[in-house]
A and B are shown apart, each in its own frame.
Chain A
Amino acid sequence: MLVQYLPFLVLFIVAVAFAGGAMVLSRLLGPKRPSATKLEPYESGMVPIGGTRGRFPIRFYLVALLFILFDIEIIFLYPWAVIFLEAGAARVFLFFEILVFLGVITVGYVYIWRKGALDWE
């Protein structure tokens, strides 16, 4: 039922109006006196050295990828958790089922651990 989501839309409008309104207000009230020094990248008062769009370690990319993998696996735990209590006699079966699922995850987890993907130097 779509009407269920209307309050969320209301909240969204309120939140966007608040954020947007505050930004517009500060733009209207604040002074505008730009100067060359003000518009430089801020490096604690030093003259900026090198390019501003630097490169960053590939490890961050690796973390993002691992996050996606594990987050999807965690999402699969939620429906399982919700039906578990109602399952009655099938609980034992469900438990061993999730044991197999987590077993598969653990293999991958041990693999990335041993490969050193979780180490930061």
Chain B
Amino acid sequence: MPEILVFLLIKLILVIVIFALWMTMVPLLIWLERKVIADIQVRLGPNRVGPFGLLQPIADAIKLIMKEDITPALVDKWVYGLAPAMLMVPAFLAIAVIPIGGVVTIGERSFALQIMGLYRGPGLFVPELDAGILLVLALSSLGVYGVVLSGWSSANKYSLLGGMRSSAQMLSYELPLGVALVGPLLLAGTLRLNGVVEAQADYGIWFIVPQLVAFAIFLMSGTAEINRSPFDLPEAEQELIGGYHTEYSSFRFAMFFMAEYVNMVTISAVAATFFLGGYRLFFNDIVWLQPVWFVLKLMAFLYLFIWVRGTLPRVRYDQLMKLGWKVFLPVALGNLLVTGLVIAFSPANTILVMSIVGALLGIATFFGLSYAIVYGLRRRRPESERRVVEPTRAGVSE
């Protein structure tokens, strides 16, 4: 068998395994989300289908497939039909560069547990994709097409406005997301995700400490980028019905949600790779166990997303745009400059200096951002319109 076929076979298995991993995460995540939010709101959540309601997402998927797929009379048929796929396919493609484990060696061949990862066999050497994280960013930009086209083609004013809003939101938060990632990249010195993981192992510290600010900005912009609560403006039912997917039904409706959950897993995977050391522990371990550490770190982020959704109220649209452009973008650029400054001027033990500076900067930014969000972004009403509401506690007389 020629080497190229072995290469393709191994890659095909990797594609299927990683694709299957993401596809198992999605229903699991939907179940987890419903259960955790039910817990937060002191109710039971799904508990009828299967043990602990575990099969509920499967039942929902089957139900949605069996439903009537309505194509309203006025829609642009082709664009309307293809838009969900245009959202979903880029979401799936972004998993191509995410490493779920290190380099595995079987006999004379070794390959990374990553779809576009390194492969070394007799007579064939394929390096990891150089573009790395840029591919993820590019594909998350492509997803905007699905949103804006589904909104436009639906021939419904709520869809149109929802599509416009969501795409503007996704575009705006793409910027702080991209800038935030430059900080860890400065320390890693490579765009390859495997390189970023190895750099963290070499430094002996996860980038969450020296790049605390970048981590916070990345996580919050990521939440906005994938339209999750508290930035889930497209789903602001009281304003826009269903947003860009108002007119969709049956499985095409489900595809929007699937794409959202796939994006959520991908953003969590990128966050785990860039800030929590990816698939590596602090010590050298068995390479076959690395996907387990990776999935555990992934789950921590997914739980965080759900927790945030259960806790915070939705922000208003003008606040959302202000936050992205006027707060996150300058803060991310500031973090980038400080990181550059430290690396440029402290040649000895850069990572130690950066960790101390980064942690302090993170704490300062936390208080600064809290202040900005609580006081700065609140729209100042003129004194005459301002209504003073004294906080009263029922049943307590002063």
By a beta-carbon cutoff of 8 Å, the part of chain A in contact with chain B is 1, 3-8, 10-12, 14-16, 18-20, 22-23, 25-27, 29-34, 38-44, 50, 52-54, 56-57, 59-60, 63-64, 67, 70-71, 74-75, 77-78, 81-86, 91-92, 94-95, 98-99, 102, 105, 109, 113, 118-121
Contact = CB atoms under 8 A, between A and B. Distances in A.
A60 B8 CA distance: 44
A34 B252 CA distance: 17
What 3 A-B pairs come out closest when comparing CB atoms?
A: A26-B251, A85-B189, A120-B318
A26 B252 contact: yes
Nearest to B316: A120
B350 to A, nearest CB: 9
23 contacts: A3-B4, A3-B7, A8-B115, A10-B12, A23-B85, A23-B255, A26-B251, A41-B72, A41-B154, A42-B246, A43-B241, A50-B157, A52-B74, A60-B164, A63-B321, A67-B171, A67-B175, A71-B178, A74-B179, A84-B343, A91-B344, A94-B344, A95-B340
B241 A42 contact: yes
B340 A120 contact: no
Q: Chain B: interface secondary structure?
A: helix
Contacts of A12: 89, 93
Interface in B188-238: 188-191
A78 B191 contact: yes
Interface residues of B, number: 85
Given A11-B93, A41-B247, 18 more contacts: A6-B7, A7-B11, A8-B93, A8-B116, A11-B95, A15-B93, A22-B255, A25-B251, A34-B70, A39-B72, A43-B241, A56-B161, A63-B171, A75-B178, A82-B190, A95-B344, A118-B322, A119-B322
Interface stretch (B34-42, B60-68, B263-271, B292-300): B60-68
